[in-house]
Amino acid sequence: MASLVKSDSLRQAGAERLDVWSIFNPTNMPKDSINLGQGFMSWAPPDFILEAANDAISNNVMANHYSPARGRPRLRNAIASHYSKEFTHLGQKGLDPETEILVTAGANEGMYAALLAYLNPGDEVICIEPFFDQYTASIIFNGGVPVYVPLHPPPAGQTGAKPTGKDWRVDFDELRAAITPKTKVIILNTPHNPVGKMFNRSELEQFAKVAIDNNLLVLSDEVYDCLTYDGHEHIRIATLPGMWERTITVGSAGKSFAATGWRIGWLIAPPQLIQTALMASTRIIFCVNGPLQEAAAVGLELADSKNFFQTQRKEYAERRDVLMEVFDNLELSYTIPDGSYFLLVDISRIVLPENYDFPAILDGRGRDFRVCWFIAQEVGVVAIPPSEFYSKDHVHIGENFARFAFCKDPETLKAAGARLQKLKQYLK
Ligand SMILES: Cc1ncc(COP(=O)(O)O)c(C=O)c1O
């Protein structure tokens, strides 16, 4: 048989080298290491949602069969009433569950479907770095070309400094310079993975102006919209003047309800944008699993009466504080996250021992890969090197940081914290 070679799009999307998730996979890590790497929770979804899932599987025959490709009506209705409070520009009518919502297999598939629906070969897509790494493959697989515009970090290496999201800045002249006649889409992510930044109104207005002036679609990844801290206001770019008609807002039940494995997400947009994404999604997955859509619907229906999101925000803020204290004790600087569940720590003060034996899979990768490998092997705590979320030209920006996830119970975070104190001896 002729040997099978990878497709060009797979190669362009980086399949020639191992991705960060494979390198920092638990099987490569010491057996007893504490995993603050990949962003999944160390607890189950809340009981009222689990009960709804069990109930749908056991008692709702139709939910166990193919669902409407658009998503189950109960979930679309629940999404519409949950979000309509914020999409006030739509007035009394609010979001139309029949035409303005598409349920997807997680936010990932929703974004993939939207890019498949709108990209032609050679169309350019602006990604703000650091970016969630699935974006690159979703753009390239659909014929697009990613164009990278970095968030500029606060100065690295400052002892005890505590920047916040607003200290990571987009240079809007740089953004405008990156736009060409081929630019079709801007992907935004707020609250942001891995920085924890939430774009403020003035920043979003500047993005909106660029999108309107250049007739661009905005894919606004807001999967962490329920995870915001210190009273930071989550602003949806779709609600700014002139933006509803050109924005697809992306949500995720996985992030909102601690159910990342359920693969339930959604797109919200005007009918013409949803209709086209629906055509793509129908051909990718046809429909999303039914019982867990029913359960996600119950989650949204009961969230307010159970004060669910408010309580969850408080619990996450406590977990965030546990992790921040760990790095305060080490006097390592980090960005205080306004939202999401990641802490981006400045690792430029960590000095690696000379002649340490790093595996060949780290060759050619940023310094952060070596630091995270060293921390995992010698300290027993797994973090993610964020230079993976930068284009080759901008690896130098990301390699000064390590991403620690705090979607773990406080005991796990405290245990990780105790281990991390070992880093003291490697600080300059
Ligand atoms: C920024 C961002 N967008 C999208 C996703 C994927 O969401 P989902 O699990 O709903 O596909 C993630 C998951 O880590 C993420 O961090």
Per-residue pLDDT at 171 exceeds 70: yes
Per-residue pLDDT at 1 exceeds 80: no
DSSP state of 338: S
Q: Which of 79, 102, 128, 132 to mutate to test the pocket of ligand 1 (most atoms within 8 A of CB)?
A: 132
The residues pairing with 186 across neighbouring beta strands, listed in sequence order, are 126, 218
342 lines ligand 1 (CB under 6 A): no
Per-residue pLDDT at 3 exceeds 80: no
- Nearest protein Cα to ligand 1, atom 13: 39
Burial of 43 (C-beta count, 10 Å sphere; 0-12/13-18/19+) = exposed
CA 144 to chain centre: 20
pLDDT at 14: 83
Per-residue pLDDT at 75 exceeds 90: yes
Using one digit for the tens of pLDDT, what is the confidence trace for 358-394? 999 999 999 999 999 999 999 999 999 999 999 999 9
Using one digit for the tens of pLDDT, what is the confidence trace for 288-315? 999 999 999 999 999 999 999 999 999 9
pLDDT at 238: 98
CA 276 to chain centre: 23
Per-residue pLDDT at 126 exceeds 70: yes
Is there a common fold for 7-44+308-426 and 47-302?
no
**pLDDT averaged over the chain?**
96
Find the mean pLDDT for residues 137-156.
Answer: 95
Whether residue 426 contacts residue 351, with contact meaning beta carbons closer than 8 Å, is answered with: yes
Per-residue pLDDT at 415 exceeds 80: yes
Find the mean pLDDT for residues 93-118.
Answer: 98
Nearest residue to 24 (alpha-carbon basis) of 142, 133, 154, 97: 133
What Rg do the C-alpha atoms of the chain give, in angstroms? 21
Q: Strands 265-268 and 145-152, how do they pair?
A: unpaired
Q: Sign of the C-alpha dihedral, residues 414, 419, 424, 426? A: negative
> Which ligand 1 atom is nearest residue 264's CA?
10
Task: Answer with the residue of higher pLDDT: 132 or 12.
Answer: 132
- Nearest protein Cα to ligand 1, atom 14: 39
262 lines ligand 1 (CB under 6 A): no
pLDDT at 301: 98
Per-residue pLDDT at 2 exceeds 90: no
pLDDT at 156: 79
Whether residue 147 contacts residue 124, with contact meaning beta carbons closer than 8 Å, is answered with: yes
Where do the domains of the chain lie?
7-44+308-426, 47-302
Spatial neighbors of 46 by CB under 8 A, at least 6 apart, are: 257, 258, 299, 308
pLDDT at 16: 78
333 lines ligand 1 (CB under 6 A): no
Find the mean pLDDT for residues 266-287.
Answer: 98
Per-residue pLDDT at 187 exceeds 70: yes
Q: How far apart are CA 386 and CA 156, in angstroms?
A: 14
254 lines ligand 1 (CB under 6 A): yes
Per-residue pLDDT at 103 exceeds 90: yes
Q: For residue 155, what pLDDT band results from cuts at 50, 70 and 90?
A: confident
pLDDT at 15: 78
Compute φ and ψ for 232, nearest 5 degrees: -65, 135
297 lines ligand 1 (CB under 6 A): no
377 Cα–ligand 1 center, Å: 27
Give Cα separations from 359 to 2, 227, 311, 355, 401 (angstroms). 32, 36, 43, 12, 20
Domain 7-44+308-426 carries which CATH code? 3.90.1150.10
Q: For residue 425, what pLDDT band results from cuts at 50, 70 and 90?
A: very high
Nearest residue to 199 (alpha-carbon basis) of 223, 224, 169: 169
User: E strands of 323-386, at which residues?
Assistant: 334-335, 342-346, 381-382
Find the mean pLDDT for residues 182-199.
Answer: 98
Whether residue 268 contacts residue 219, with contact meaning beta carbons closer than 8 Å, is answered with: no
Residue 384, phi-psi category: left (phi > 0), alpha (psi -120 to 50), beta (remainder): beta
Per-residue pLDDT at 411 exceeds 70: yes
Find the mean pLDDT for residues 135-143.
Answer: 96
Per-residue pLDDT at 264 exceeds 70: yes
Using one digit for the tens of pLDDT, what is the confidence trace for 214-260? 999 999 999 999 999 999 999 999 999 999 999 999 999 999 999 99
Domain 47-302 has CATH 3.40.30.10: no
Using one digit for the tens of pLDDT, what is the confidence trace for 7-57? 888 888 887 788 999 999 989 999 999 999 999 999 999 999 999 999 999
What tokens does 241 get?
Answer: 């003047």
pTM of the model: 0.96
Using one digit for the tens of pLDDT, what is the confidence trace for 393-410? 999 999 999 999 999 999
Q: How many helices (H) and strands (E) does the chain have?
A: 15, 13
